[in-house]
Amino acid sequence: MTHDVMSGGQPIQQPDDTRALLETIYQQARAIEGGEVASYIPALAEVAPEQCALTLATLDGQSVSVGDAAQRFSIQSISKIFGLMLAMERVGESLWERVQMEPSGQPFNSIVQLEWEKGIPRNPMINAGAILVADVLVSRYSASKNAVLSLVRQLCGADDVFADGRVHQSEMAHGHRNAALAHLMKSFGNIEADVDEVLDHYFWQCALTMSTQQLARSFAFLANRGVCPFSQKRIVARRDAQRINAILSTSGMYDQSGEFAFTVGVPAKSGVGGGIVAVVPDYGVIAAWSPKLNHYGNSQRGLYMIREVATRLGLSVY
């Protein structure tokens, strides 16, 4: 797997052996101490914390993985992209009257900004924005969960992707902050459906479980201008792929998005299950997972692995 990558006009030395590079980065990541497994959703706190996985899938159809790359985990906020794709397709431009496309500069579950801004979330990647998107899906699909499931299964090429019922129920029982966000938006008239139904969809979607191998494959269309490189099927319009990547660049890593752009330089999305998916336009997808999180809610080891792969292969888009 060699690529002519240029940096500052100079070709970057490409490793002959991608697997050896990933293995080195993976071993270095495993030595990183610190971070905490998410515990505010009790079922997530039970996950074995030292697990670690890294997958690099390129648009030529190659996929290289190291570590626990076949192990499925709770994708949590990474699922917000699937919901957003369906909502963009269903309601078009009017979506952007109900949710903005600006970075929030606040933690992903912050409430305060939502009141100042009269129930219009800053972007679809913070919890308030994703709950708004869930409202669109519940209101505009007769079976919103089936719509998400069939999209995800199509993208990753597997029929056996499911939500983890324990994680779903666990978050339902402890999701008071998300319920507060949903009710606040309802009070401003920005939620149409029944709040409990919206939250049920949102928590279910966050509880989807996938591996880094499946995630890397699922997001390849975003690196390929909206076309799945494996099936050659158009998944979203080219403009929508650009828009989703733009939102990931500014808001995908929450209030660490600026630092991530600075040090890594590709669109990416993280989840509190410890997964991170990074989209490298015209090249491929890097997916990493390890459950222990930094204080922004991003995987400590996952960040290291994505940053090292992007840096050593010269993948920044800037």
Q: Where are the beta strands (DSSP E) in the chain?
A: 6-7, 10-11, 36-37, 53-58, 63-67, 73-74, 209-210, 268-270, 275-280, 284-289, 292-293
Does residue 270 belong to the site contacting ligand DON (CB under 6 A)? yes
The three-state secondary structure class of 193 is coil
**Residue 123 known to bind ligand:** no
Instruction: In whole angstroms, give the CA distance from residue 23 to residue 309.
Output: 11
Which residue, 58 or 251, is less far from ligand DON as judged by CB? 251
Active site residues: 77, 80, 202, 254, 272
Which residue, 171 or 308, is less far from ligand DON as judged by CB? 171
Does residue 224 belong to the site contacting ligand DON (CB under 6 A)? no
Find how far residue 158's CA is from the centre of its chain: 19
Interface with ligand DON (CB under 6 A), residue total 13
Instruction: Look at residues 249, 218, 223, 199 and name the one whose alpha carbon lies nearest to residue 150.
Output: 218
Rg for the chain, CA atoms, rounded? 18
Please state the closest distance from residue 206 (CB atom) to ligand DON, in A. Answer: 4
Which residue, 193 or 272, is less far from ligand DON as judged by CB? 272
**In sequence order, what are the residues at sequence separation of 6 or more whose Cβ sits closer than 8 angstroms to the Cβ of residue 9?**
none
Does residue 82 belong to the site contacting ligand DON (CB under 6 A)? no
Find how far residue 207's CA is from the centre of its chain: 13
Instruction: In whole angstroms, give the CA distance from residue 29 to residue 79.
Output: 25
Instruction: In whole angstroms, give the CA distance from residue 206 to residue 191.
Output: 19
Q: Contact at 8 Å (CB) between 99 and 127?
A: no
* H helix or E strand, kind and range, residue 275: strand 275-280
Please state the closest distance from residue 244 (CB atom) to ligand DON, in A. Answer: 17
Instruction: In whole angstroms, give the CA distance from residue 277 to residue 79.
Output: 11
**Residue 296 known to bind ligand:** no
Please state the closest distance from residue 62 (CB atom) to ligand DON, in A. Answer: 29
**Residue 77 known to bind ligand:** yes
- Using the rule CB under 6 A, which residue among 77, 110, 224, 290 binds ligand DON? 77
Does residue 308 belong to the site contacting ligand DON (CB under 6 A)? no
∠ CA 56-59-60, rounded to 5°: 100
Q: Which among 2-10, 140-148, 240-248, 269-277 is the span making contact with ligand DON, rule CB under 6 A?
A: 269-277
State the binding string over 229-268 for ligand DON (x if CB under 6 A, else -). -------------------------x--------------
Please state the closest distance from residue 245 (CB atom) to ligand DON, in A. Answer: 18
**Residue 272 known to bind ligand:** yes
Does residue 274 belong to the site contacting ligand DON (CB under 6 A)? no
User: How many residues are recorded in the chain?
Assistant: 318
* H helix or E strand, kind and range, residue 183: helix 176-187
Which residue, 63 or 257, is less far from ligand DON as judged by CB? 257
Does residue 310 belong to the site contacting ligand DON (CB under 6 A)? no
Other C-beta atoms lying within 10 Å of the C-beta of residue 80: 30
State the binding string over 22-61 for ligand DON (x if CB under 6 A, else -). ----------------------------------------
Instruction: Look at residues 309, 277, 276 and name the one whose alpha carbon lies nearest to residue 290.
Output: 276
Residues binding ligand DON (CB under 6 A): 76-77, 108-109, 127, 171, 178, 206, 254, 270-272, 297
Q: Which residues are annotated as a binding site?
A: 77, 127, 171, 178, 202, 254, 272
